[in-house]
């Protein structure tokens, strides 16, 4: 048995999504269904729930049965929501919610290889297919490995970590989570903030293995294309790299100063805002929620309402 997932910022998500009777919502990150359940309980609406992890979808069948046809489960990536939903006969949505990252059951299952606190295979694939973290760690040259750890983990000592990994794997391949965690801990100075030094390297590998930033960009654009005027987009992030992308996407699409970034090229002049922001700043959890669920600590919610304007032209996603 794995632990349950405590939904983060659930009340704030509901307030921002504002579910109404007769409408159709996408929960793009079903997990253990905490958000889907809350939405279905808040209004007599339909929820289409997507998760790329086959385990999450399999576990969700009981919940789906209890909502009498109002909850449809689909395995896939939210970045491909247009195709996934079209196959399910859905062309337009009244709301989209994305609660990014891994769920507690994924993190707590040592066999999935996400945790540096328990020993397991160095896997980290949410989808259970594609390249594993072990293949990245044992296969990349030192320089690209350091770049990956620096960019996706925001690790200042990335060169040092990459060098230690390459030295260790010259002796034998790095196959397990605890093996990698120990190599990183041995390579880095003792942390004064109490954060395990392996945190940032594990984060970088997880984001890379699951192409989480590319998925986010595709998901935001797909949501823009699928939402009806008045429909709502709600995104909860746990990582500053993701939050920055959501912030820049919504800021530029809502007529705020667009940011110059290679990830978000400047729009053509004259495009009408396709979103209007619900809050000026991201919403963060209060002390009570953080005390009850420490995982909520780094969460930030951003939300916007779709305008009547056409979706902006698609740029190439990463």
Ligand X SMILES: C[S@@+](CC[C@H](N)C(=O)[O-])C[C@H]1O[C@@H](n2cnc3c(N)ncnc32)[C@H](O)[C@@H]1O
Nearest CB to ligand X, comparing residues 13 and 184: 13
Q: Which CB sits closer to ligand X, 184 or 296?
A: 296
Q: Please report the beta strands in 28-113, taking only residues with DSSP state E, as ranges in sequence order.
A: 46-51, 71-75, 93-99
Give CA angle at 215 (214, 216), nearest 5°: 90
Asked if 99 touches ligand X (CB under 6 A), the answer is yes
CB of 146 or CB of 216, closer to ligand X: 216
Q: Does 300 bind ligand X (CB under 6 A)?
A: no
SS3 70: coil
| Shortest distance, position 79 Cβ to ligand X, whole Å | 6
Residue 51 in the binding site for ligand X (CB under 6 A):
yes
Segment interacting with ligand X (CB under 6 A) among 31-39, 57-65, 175-183, 284-292 = 31-39
Is residue 19 at the binding interface for ligand X, with CB under 6 A as the rule? no
Q: Which is nearer to ligand X, 33 or 231 (CB)?
A: 33
Strands 227-237 and 93-99: parallel
| CB closer to ligand X out of 106 and 138 | 106
303 makes contact with ligand X (CB under 6 A): no
Q: List, edge to edge, every strand of the sheet that includes 93-99.
A: 71-75, 46-51, 24-27, 93-99, 227-237, 300-306, 275-277
| Cα distance between residue 217 and residue 51, in whole Å | 17
Select the residue interacting with ligand X from 90, 122, 126, 205 (CB under 6 A).
126
Q: Read off φ and ψ for residue 229, nearest 5 degrees.
A: -55, 135
Q: How far is the CB of 172 from ligand X (least distance, A)?
A: 31
């Amino acid at each position: 048995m794995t632990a349950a997932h405590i939904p983060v910022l659930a009340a704030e998500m509901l307030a921002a999504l504002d579910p109404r009777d007769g409408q159709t919502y996408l929960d793009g990150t079903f997990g253990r269904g905490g958000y889907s359940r809350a939405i279905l309980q808040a209004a007599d609406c339909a929820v289409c729930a997507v998760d790329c992890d086959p385990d999450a979808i399999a576990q969700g069948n009981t919940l789906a049965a209890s909502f009498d046809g109002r909850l449809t489960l689909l395995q896939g990536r939210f970045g491909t929501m247009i195709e996934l939903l079209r196959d399910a006969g859905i062309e337009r949505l009244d709301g989209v919610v994305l609660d990014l990252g891994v769920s507690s059951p994924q993190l707590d299952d040592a066999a999935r290889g996400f945790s540096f606190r328990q020993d397991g295979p160095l896997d980290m694939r949410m989808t259970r297919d594609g390249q594993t973290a072990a293949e990245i760690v044992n296969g990349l040259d030192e320089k690209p490995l350091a770049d990956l750890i620096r960019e996706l983990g925001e690790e200042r000592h990335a060169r040092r970590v990459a060098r230690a990994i390459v030295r260790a794997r010259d002796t034998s391949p790095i196959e397990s989570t605890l093996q990698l965690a120990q190599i990183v801990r041995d390579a880095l100075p003792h942390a004064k903030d109490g954060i395990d030094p392996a945190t940032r390297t594990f984060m970088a590998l997880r984001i890379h293995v699951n192409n989480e930033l590319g998925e986010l960009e595709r998901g935001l654009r797909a949501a823009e294309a699928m939402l009806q005027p008045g429909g709502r987009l709600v995104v909860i992030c746990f990582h500053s790299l993701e939050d920055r992308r959501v912030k820049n996407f919504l800021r530029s699409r809502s007529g705020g100063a667009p940011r110059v970034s290679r990830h978000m090229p400047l729009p053509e002049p004259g495009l009408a805002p396709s979103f209007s922001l619900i809050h000026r700043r991201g919403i963060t959890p209060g002390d009570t929620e953080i005390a009850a669920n420490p995982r909520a600590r780094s969460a930030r919610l951003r939300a916007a309402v779709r305008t009547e304007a056409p979706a902006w032209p698609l740029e190439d996603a990463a």
